[in-house]
Amino acid sequence: MDNIIVATIKEWNIKNYYSLIAKYSNQFNFHLITSSEDLSFERIKSIAPKYIFFPHWSWIIPEKIYKNYECIVFHMTDLPFGRGGSPLQNLIMEGIYDTKVSAIKVQEGLDTGDIYMKEDFSIALGSAEEIFIRLSDLVFQKMIPKLLENKMVPIKQEGQETIFKRRTPSQSHLKQLNEVSLVKLYDFIRMLDGEGYPKAFLELDGLKIEFSEAHLKNNKLVGKFEVTEK
């Protein structure tokens, strides 16, 4: 049987990984990698995978690996639009709520690889974490199965290239909002409300106020705040 590697760091992806094993245990041998140290060429060579899937990965994929093995990442934009970092946050800041998830072959250059497929995806509602959980379901329940069950040949990206810059923690300050409204505040708070992201915040006389769990109800924005001393 062919070997398949899934490299990811998020708990919701790991949960879906085990569901994937249950579905395809008679067809593939699966291997899970959850740290950059484990993603070594020596280990990959010993497994000799047919595919290496990267549903959510925070480290650079070594050139020696992606040039010798078929590596596939999943990017939350309609590539080549939105290459680069922080796609969810950049899309919401641009007021774009309907996007695509692009499955691309890892090649030299940031998100420049050939495309296997694209799937529609909405980011109109929910916190960042809720959106990433839905993204995980799409990737593991639809996109990876398509790649496992079909011989898919990736095609070159076409269209106007647009680059997104990775956001910095200082950009989570609510003063970054150029236009203030209930909807804008809701979007800003929810897009940063996820594991590993710096929450939306304000600073006031030596205090830091962080916001999360935002919801729009009856023309009011409600949610949770936490105050700490800087």
DSSP string, 1-44: -EEEEEEE--HHHHHHHHHHHHHHTTTEEEEEE-SGGG--HHHH
Pairing verdict, β 71-75 and 51-56:
parallel
CB atoms within 10 A of CB 141: 13
Q: What pLDDT score was predicted for residue 56?
A: 87
Asked whether residue 58 carries a pLDDT value surpassing 90, the answer given is no
Band (178; pLDDT cuts 50, 70, 90): confident
The model's pLDDT over 129-154, given as tens digits with 9 standing for 90+, comes to 999 999 999 999 999 999 999 999 99
**Domains detected in the chain:** 2-164 (3.40.50.170), 169-229 (3.10.25.20)
CB atoms within 10 A of CB 100: 18
